[in-house]
Structure 1
Amino acid sequence: MTTKLILTHEVTGLGAPGDVIDVKDGYARNFLLPRGLATGWTKGAQKQIDAIQAARRKREIATIEGARAARDSLQSKPVIVKVRSGESGRLFGAVTTSDIADAVAAAGGVQVDRRKIEVKNPIKSLGSHQVSVRLHDDVSATLEVQVVPA
């Protein structure tokens, strides 16, 4: 059986906010709904879909050219994140997507939404790490993050 839902947040590999999706009942009941990533679909929910999509259009970079320019500026230099670490180079905790977004903004880069940053493996050590940033549906940037002790 499948359940029809409206996404309220971006879910990698599934869709963006405002998209109407069909997923298996267990995935909806055990993952999407409890985490607030989606709501149930009804005929009267079209207003909600329109509001979510309008808000998304305001937040995202309007043109592909703008996204490509943002990608070039992000990839031009590494982002430096200062964190507390132990003597062996292990971090106390991990570097979060919010930390990366704040470091990009502090370095004078484009404003990046933390939900658009994808970290493959948790960053728990000092050094250089690669993260992906989705700037537009067709444009993504690979960002180099330098983790240094504070």
Structure 2
Amino acid sequence: MNSPTRTAAETTVPQEIAQLAAMRPVHAAFAWFQLREQELRSMQLDIARIPAPPFGEAARAQWLREKFTAIGLDDIEVDEVGNVIGVLPGQDRELPAVAVTAHLDTVFPSDTEITIHEDRDRVYGPGVSDNAAGLTAMLAIAMCMREAR
């Protein structure tokens, strides 16, 4: 039997990950996230408690817009379909931009009771993962990058 051959990209991915993991800014980012674990969990629960059924995300969009303002993003707008957009300019505008996105809505209908249950290590409830987790991650990345400047 012949063993499969690896492409150049496959052989460099582990090396690239190792290089990234060794960078001081990456260590600083991980430390930032660890120090703010409770703050981020609280933010996730706040988001989950805002109803956002499909095509009914306006309240959550308003909350996100206010959060974008609070963390200092630029050019904040809500487009014609309700997407909230904010910009965190990079240090070198000649470099490619990076987009971090998350959807606002949940799959739960508007009449769903939003009750959140917390264990020591877990949180349960409608919208906690769909998509309060994604919105929290997006905000946390922006906050971490903002502080790193």
Query: Which one has a larger percent helix, Structure 1 or Structure 2?
Result: 2
Query: Which one has a larger percent strand, Structure 1 or Structure 2?
Result: 1
User: What is the TM-score normalised by the length of structure 1?
Assistant: 0.29
User: What is the TM-score normalised by the length of structure 2?
Assistant: 0.29
